[in-house]
Amino acid sequence: MTFPRELRYTKDHEWARVEGDVATVGITKFAVEQLGDITLVEAPKVGAAVKMGAAMGTIESVKTVSDLNAPCSGTVTAANDALVDAPQKVNDDPYGEGWIVRIKMSDAKETASLMDADAYEKHTATEH
């Protein structure tokens, strides 16, 4: 499995697309495959403060409920409202229409500690 090169990844299978001081966040294709069909995405509300590594929401699937952890600290500026009625967008297009939140980062340097695509690919290889 290959992962988009422009993204940064957490060990908990979230991705971040960093553009300036804003990170668009979702879960990886690897996570989607582990979870199965996603039935509910509970994202933080716009304006919520989030802390890197801390739970900021949940993702429910037919198999389990998993925490959605923040890949960076900051304030939520947008949530993907389309997921309320169509959580399967995360399954169908995890790196596109399945994005979950956008975070205005309080410290953009935090994302330097996230994995690049090569490191994340190695990380997932040990979890199979």
- Extents of the domains making up the chain: 8-107
pLDDT of residue 28: 98
Residue with tokens 């960093």: 18
Write the pLDDT tens digit of every residue in 10-42: 999 999 999 999 999 999 999 999 999 999 999
pTM above 0.85, yes or no: yes
* CB neighbour burial string for 90-120, b if at least 16 within 10 angstroms, e if fewer: bbeebbeebbbbbbebeeeebeeebbebeeb
pLDDT over 80 (residue 127) = no
The CATH number assigned to the domain with range 8-107 reads 2.40.50.100
pLDDT over 70 (residue 128) = no
Write the pLDDT tens digit of every residue in 83-107: 999 999 999 999 999 999 999 999 9
pLDDT over 80 (residue 50) = yes
